[in-house]
Structure 1
Amino acid sequence: MASPNIITLIFFLLILCVINNTPCEAQLSSTFYDASCPNALRTIRTSIRTAISRERRMAASIVRLHFHDCFVQVLS
């Protein structure tokens, strides 16, 4: 049988989900990090290119990860 702490945690999380069940209205922006981290896109691009040059299958993995995260966000 589950311990009382686990049951309490699950109950708390369920209540939290019910209370915070408001729709998200966020919008993606390609300029989000321009002020706080101006080199972000260059750093990400360099890292991805390096990873793909070391292991060609990494390109497919990155695309799969991107779409998995997007679909999970849309469906949840």
Structure 2
Amino acid sequence: MASSSVSALLLFLCLAAVASAQLSPTFYDTSCPNALSTIKSAVNAAVQKENRMGASLLRLHFHDCFVQASSFPSLAPSCMASRLG
């Protein structure tokens, strides 16, 4: 009985943390309006310098979203939404 209560409490705390940590696609529009263009130009320059950089960044994204989130399946949708946004 006590272990199920502790499990339920831990599940609730995890879900509450995930629900309150959502980013929106316009998160940096006011605090750093040039962020998107700066990131795009840096990525384009890196890919021009080293062709494999695009694949490396894709691999990094995969590991951030899918490999680490697989231990917490409830995190995968929020991870994808924040990166696709």
So what's the TM-score if we normalise by structure 1? 0.64
Percent of aligned pairs with the same amino acid: 53
**In the TM superposition, what are the counterparts of 1:39-50 in structure 2 within 5 Å?**
39-50=34-45
Counting matched residue pairs gives: 58
Q: Quick check: which has more Rg, 1 or 2?
A: 1
Match of 1:54 in 2: 49
- RMSD of aligned C-alpha atoms? 2.1
Give unpaired runs (5+ residues) of structure 1. 1-17
Give 1:68 deviation, angstroms: 0.8
Give unpaired runs (5+ residues) of structure 2. 1-9, 73-85
So what's the TM-score if we normalise by structure 2? 0.58
Match of 2:32 in 1: 37
